Chains A and B, each alone.
Chain A
Amino acid sequence: MDVSMYTEIISTLSATMRVSTPLILAAMAGIFSERSGIVDISLEGKLLAGAFISAAVAAVTGSAWLGLGAAIVVTMLLSLLHGFASITHNGDQVVSGVAINIIVSGMTVVLGIAWFHQSGQTPSLPNTARFMPLHLPGSEAIGSIPILGEIYTKILGGHNLLVYIAFLSVALTWWVLFKTRFGLRLRAVGENPKAVDTAGISVAWLRYRAVLIAGILTGIGGTYISIAQNASFIREMSAGQGYIALAAMIFGKWKPVPAMFASLMFGFLDALSIRLQGVEIAGIGQIPVQAIQALPYILTVAILASFAGRAIAPKADGVPYVKER
């Protein structure tokens, strides 16, 4: 293996980590929501809202942390709205989610233009107002070791804090869902809300908590997109990642660790396709840029169409719970 090939692999894997982060966070959000029985198409809108608010607040205050906090508050409010429609009023959850996506798509541009007058963008952020790459302890010492060093400093290390939070959220999701009483009840309410209700536990309150957690996670994911991965908000910058995360969640059968691997797979293919741009392939020639850009979406459809599309969702997923009188 020659050296350039080796660096290609390292940088592709490093990019995989960065591209997968919002997918992982949104997929975990989806798992919390859907495990409690609430379908959440609005992951997309919440990522976009989080991206906009964090970039706007960071631009005004100069603080990435305030941006993150504001993004989480706003995405939790959107979650409450989704909950109000689908839990309190038994509305159609998919329609509510689509409504939120369209509202956010419009509002981010309306507010962006009204506040910053830059045709919907937010001002470019200085590095001090962003989440910047961290250096893992001992990078200098381990970095000099041939292969291990590269893996440690470039694939595992060298990312910003939110990337690590994303991976931490997977462990946390697993622990909450499968090791706590709250998680047990949350899963129960997604399978058989009536049984939970009969046991004297509030179905609505459990589901509200689930969608609020989804709000927190998507807020972090959105923040990552605009002020960690990029340095400003650009209109429609979530570009379908919320939907791809939903596909990853389905592919991962509503389980945290498999959903993380599904997100990583999407991220890897995305990173790989960026590498393929402008590369001549023997026999085919150069692949059009547009084909490469369409690849994540085509893959999402292909994965939903494959065996995993038939995966079994939580039984009460998407069904409003109407208490009998």
Chain B
Amino acid sequence: MRRQPLPAWADIILIPLINIALALLVAGVVITLIGENPFKAFAVMFQGAFGYAEGVGYTLYYATNFIFTGLAVAIAFHAMLFNIGGEGQAYIGGLGVALVLLAFDHVLPFWALLPLAIGAAMLFGAAWAAIPAYLQAYRGSHIVITTIMFNFIASNLMVYLLVNVFIVPGSMSPESRVFDPNAWLPTVHDFFARFGIDVAPSPLNLSFIIALIAGVLVWLFIWHTRWGYAIRTVGFSEPAAEYAGISTKKIIMITMLLSGALAGMAGINEIMGVQHKLLLDFVAGYGFTGIAVALMGRNHPLGIVLSSILFGALYQGGADLTFEMPNISREMVTAIQGFIILFSGALTYMSRPWLERLFGLFVRDTPTEEAPHGR
């Protein structure tokens, strides 16, 4: 059968949608095997994510984390580096935020705290990516293994710090003290309440806007700066980059530091925006979700924002699902993430030959017979 090369829209929109559909199909089969109705489950999830104002707020709050971690994974992918250490980098980024806020929340005004906290989040996140980056660039150590080891190390480090350093004396739970409300990021419902508009309370806060700005900045950086060009060149072909006079070692370092800094920003949303204290395991898999988000968003900031909202919906809907159907646990969302990574990352073009044949059916007259269109 004749094949028709796919138009751009099919490549950018249709194939990702097919991949999501396949992932949800597999998830549906799993839900059926557990003995629940998959259609009802997905309906509950959709309702939970978009059906009421509070749910939408939660969806966007989760999406904020995924935009940061997704951008982090994507920027590394552009240099063909696979950073699966977003989990640890976000965790340590949150540590940076907490250190700044614990030190200055009673001293400095909010407008001075915010840039300091952002700086700390990025610095700490970047620092946690620095050693794996250096080892990849100068020692050739497998970055996938080293970054995942750093996730484990971060987790142990944070347990130690929370249990021995940050814990409130006399308290049983390993948490820091709560920051002064002066250091809290304004939430969306508080912001609107100032103008007398009633918005359902949710953890959605200013960092969603910061995440969107980060997306624009990453877009400018990757496609409109010299370094961005160098990063894409290294990702395309290391020898070519070397011949062009680009230091691949330097680019690996820059890329990974930026990647770590972006992942660390998730700490702004979680620590400064929602939890208002340092606590255990606040990253809750957001770093790994960033991988799925970046793959589905085709490493483009716009795609990442859209897929972040989808994953935000999965997280929020998944929480409601566990409530409605106790037989299905939250980890179903983790599994769905895995399926999406599989279909949109490793089996990206499985559907392509089929689609090409399908398009071949509809396009009867071959384009070659027509005169080329002049522009």
Using a CB–CB cutoff of 8 Å, the interface residues on chain A facing chain B are 41, 81, 84-86, 89, 91-96, 98-107, 109-111, 113-114, 120, 239-240, 243, 246-247, 250, 288, 290-291, 293-294, 297-298, 300-301, 304-305, 309-310
- Do the beta carbons of B347 and A110 come within 8 Å of each other? no
Q: Which 6 A-B pairs have the closest CB atoms?
A: A106-B334, A106-B335, A103-B338, A96-B346, A102-B338, A91-B346
Known: A106-B338, A240-B149. A114 touches B164 (CB 8 A): no
- Do the beta carbons of B327 and A290 come within 8 Å of each other? no
- Do the beta carbons of B335 and A110 come within 8 Å of each other? yes
Interface membership of B368, Cβ < 8 A: no
Partner of A309, one of B141, B288, B349: B141
* Distance from A15 Cβ to chain B, minimum over Cβ atoms (Å): 20
Q: Which of B126-149 contact A (CB under 8 A)?
A: 131-132, 135, 139-142, 144-146, 148-149
Partner of A103, one of B148, B339, B348: B339
Size class of the contact patch on chain B: 35 or more
A114-B149 Cα distance, complex, nearest whole Å: 31
In the bound complex, residues from chain A placing their C-beta under 8 Å from that of B157 are: 290, 294
Q: Which of B291-313 contact A (CB under 8 A)?
A: 291-292, 295
Known: A102-B341, A290-B156. A304 touches B30 (CB 8 A): no
- Please give 17 more A-B residue pairs, beta carbons under 8 A apart, in addition to A89-B349, A301-B146: A89-B350, A91-B345, A92-B345, A96-B347, A99-B339, A102-B334, A102-B337, A105-B331, A106-B332, A107-B30, A114-B35, A114-B329, A243-B149, A246-B145, A250-B142, A301-B150, A301-B153
Partner of B329, one of A113, A240, A246, A304: A113
A33-B146 Cα distance, complex, nearest whole Å: 20
- Do the beta carbons of A294 and B152 come within 8 Å of each other? yes
Chain A residue nearest in CB terms to B329: A113
In the bound complex, residues from chain A placing their C-beta under 8 Å from that of B347 are: 84-85, 89, 91, 96
- Do the beta carbons of B341 and A98 come within 8 Å of each other? yes
A41-B341 Cα distance, complex, nearest whole Å: 14
In the bound complex, residues from chain B placing their C-beta under 8 Å from that of A111 are: 34
A103-B345 Cα distance, complex, nearest whole Å: 13
- Do the beta carbons of B135 and A309 come within 8 Å of each other? yes
Chain B residue nearest in CB terms to A111: B34
B interface secondary structure, majority: helix
A294-B157 Cα distance, complex, nearest whole Å: 8
A95-B19 Cα distance, complex, nearest whole Å: 15
Partner of B146, one of A81, A106, A291, A304: A304
In the bound complex, residues from chain A placing their C-beta under 8 Å from that of B156 are: 290-291, 293-294, 297
Interface membership of B333, Cβ < 8 A: yes
In the bound complex, residues from chain A placing their C-beta under 8 Å from that of B341 are: 95, 98-99, 102
* Distance from B375 Cβ to chain A, minimum over Cβ atoms (Å): 33
In the bound complex, residues from chain A placing their C-beta under 8 Å from that of B116 are: none
- Do the beta carbons of B291 and A91 come within 8 Å of each other? no
A96-B163 Cα distance, complex, nearest whole Å: 37
- Do the beta carbons of B329 and A109 come within 8 Å of each other? yes
Interface membership of B82, Cβ < 8 A: yes
A107-B331 Cα distance, complex, nearest whole Å: 7
- Do the beta carbons of B327 and A240 come within 8 Å of each other? no
* Distance from A213 Cβ to chain B, minimum over Cβ atoms (Å): 21
Contact with A along B150-172 (1 / 0, CB 8 A): 10110011011001100000000
Interface membership of B265, Cβ < 8 A: no
In the bound complex, residues from chain A placing their C-beta under 8 Å from that of B288 are: 102
* Distance from B76 Cβ to chain A, minimum over Cβ atoms (Å): 12
Interface membership of B24, Cβ < 8 A: no
A86-B140 Cα distance, complex, nearest whole Å: 23
- Do the beta carbons of A92 and B346 come within 8 Å of each other? yes
Partner of B348, one of A91, A294, A301: A91
